Amino acid sequence: MGRFLEDYISYLKIERAMSPSTVASYSSDVRDFLAWIDSAGVRVGDVRTDHIVQYFGTLEGLSKRSQARFLSSLRSFCKWTVLEGYVKDNPCDAVDTPKIGRHLPAVLSEDEVSAIIDSVDTGSWNGLRDRAILEVLYGCGLRVSEVVGLKISNVYFKEGFVRIVGKGNKERLVPIGGMALEAVSDYLAVRPEPSDTASEDILFLNRDGRALSRVSVFTMVKRQAMLAGVHKEISPHTFRHSFATHLVNHGADLRVVQDMLGHESILTTEIYTHIDTESWMRDVINHHPRR
């Protein structure tokens, strides 16, 4: 079974160009499934729909969202077994995806965004760095992985945009506003010396002169939210959601927002119209004389 998993992981990394976190999630789910069919004496080439159903029966206590994720992982694996000729038909095709409600992410108000950014003490080089990170997270709607991997050579100050390499190694150009550019410029003036060749072009460095980790950015965002008195459960991704929501609220075209976020499908971007709708519905109910 180990060979199947190794070959599948190579397929995810090379042919599908999936992110390391997605590869880890898919491979973990598939590893558990392979262990289960091995204990049941079933070979990969003999997996049928009823085996998939039986396996899901063993996953007690999982939310519908987790079940949907497991099924997505198994669909991908079984699709690979079809491509490789191990099975003729994908046994997951006949399994219905659990119905889950659309998840509406937490969103900051414009005042809360400003409060968090203004809470940063810019009296030190790392303070200037943190403010620049927050300005870029919100100003460009980037994923945290895109921020920590952002290169100086991909920031075009004169033209006012950044080149981003997103999921699946897909490139996109994102406009960057004056406030974010000013914050980046202020940080670059005090940016520490990179510790190695690999870090020379990385924009945001840690105190050791290397690229920041995603965990460091998560920690910084939560700390600044606390200092700003914002008590919502937030993460760096909250700035991305807030960026998109505020654009839609101010009348931005959904296709433009889709391109800026790097969404493959417009359906993914449409969630921000639902957030806006939920907001004005709540406002109407709160102010209705017959509420």
- Hey, which residues does 163 pair with through a beta bridge? 173
Distance of CA 87 to the CA centre of its chain: 33
Name the 3-class secondary structure at 15: helix
From 191, 240, 241, 246, active-site residue: 240
CA 35, CA 253: separation in Å to the nearest integer? Answer: 48
| Three-class secondary structure of residue 222 per DSSP | helix
> In sequence order, which ranges of 40-63 are alpha helices (DSSP H)?
49-57
Does residue 222 contact residue 125 with C-beta atoms inside 8 Å? no
Q: Which of 75, 79, 214, 237 is catalytic?
A: 237
- Catalytic pick from 131, 143, 191, 241? 143
Find the distance separating the first CA and the last CA of the chain, reported in whole Å.
60
Known catalytic residue at 210 = no
Among residues 151, 167, 172, 210, which one is catalytic?
167
Reference 47, options 82, 91, 4; nearest CA is 91
Q: Is 214 a catalytic residue?
A: no
Can you read off the two tokens belonging to residue 84? 């490789």
DSSP 197: G
Catalytic residue among 11, 55, 187, 272: 272
The question of whether 156 is a catalytic residue gets the answer no
Active site residue 272: yes
Of the candidates 212, 205, 201, 122, the one whose C-alpha atom is nearest the C-alpha of residue 155 is 201
Query: 11 an active-site residue?
Result: no
Please confirm, yes or no, whether 250 is among the known catalytic residues: no
Give the per-residue SS3 of 59-81.
Answer: CCCCCHHHHHHHHHHHHHHHHHH
Q: Residue 190 has which token pair?
A: 């005090």
Rounded distance, CA 20 to CA 101, Å?
A: 27
Catalytic residues: 143, 167, 237, 240, 263, 272
